[in-house]
Amino acid sequence: MIEIVPAFLVESEKEFEKNLRLVENDCRLIQVDVLDGSLFPNTCWYDPERIGALKTDVEMELHLMVENPIPIIEAWIKHVPTFKRAIVHTEMHRPSGVVTGYIKDELKRKVGIALNPESPLSEIEEVLHSVDQLTIMSVHPGLQGQTFGDPQHIGNAEYILEKIRSARAHQPNLTIEIDGGITEELIKPLIQAGANRLCIGSSLFKTADPTATLKSFNTLIASL
């Protein structure tokens, strides 16, 4: 299944709820970014108790750009009934396999592994067979509105597309999610390269009518 996943990197509960109501009728899943300043320099709002109080049927996955994801995941399990998947970063200073295994086996949640644009696929080979999803970052984490391909750190658009192709060749049945800097023009080449899920933030929420934009994106992927 190929789908657009609206990406929530917000500063307040008001912004979160506004974005949620704009997209909840036209998507199955949203991604909630979690930044606490420990792994990358930025922070954002992701209060599980307040989010759990917002009535919605939309499933949520957490993109945990943090050093210690487990306490946050446990709080989300407690408070957010539609929380389904936790994505942790291979760049954290903890053994990825231990963390992903704990999430899957003890916390009973689906788990994904994310890696930065400059991180090679070889860094996650040992856990790739045991996770539910690979999230390939196409920008450096922490800020919305960046250019796809992360030229500041490494590579360009073609570099990211080749990483997707390599991951798909290595794991033909794996769900591959791409996160960062995705524009409408990139949707087709990303899907052709092998992506299943496209996380979109700025190109959705910075438009005049995010609801109409999401409908347009959904129509586009349905036609491919």
Which tens digit of pLDDT belongs to each residue from 122-159? 999 889 999 999 999 999 887 776 788 766 666 678 98
Q: State the amino acid at position 167 in one-letter form.
A: A
User: What is the pLDDT at residue 153?
Assistant: 62
Residue 140 pLDDT: 85
| Cα radius of gyration rounded to whole Å, the chain | 16
Please enumerate, as own/partner, the contacts of 213-217 that have beta carbons within 8 Å and a separation of 24 or more: 214/4, 214/6, 214/22, 214/23, 214/26, 214/27, 215/26, 216/184, 217/4, 217/184, 217/187
pLDDT (0 to 100) of residue 107: 98
| pLDDT tens track, the chain, 224 positions | 999 999 999 999 999 999 999 999 999 999 999 999 999 989 999 999 999 999 999 999 999 999 999 999 999 999 999 999 999 999 999 999 999 999 999 999 999 999 998 889 999 988 999 999 999 999 988 777 678 876 666 667 898 999 999 999 999 999 999 999 999 999 999 999 999 999 999 999 999 999 999 999 999 999 99
Q: Look at residue 141 in the predicted model and tell me its pLDDT.
A: 83
As a whole number of angstroms, the distance between CA 154 and CA 152 comes to: 6
In order of their start, the domains of the chain are 3-223 (3.20.20.70)
Q: What is the pLDDT at residue 157?
A: 87
Cβ atoms within 10 Å of 152's Cβ, excluding its own: 11
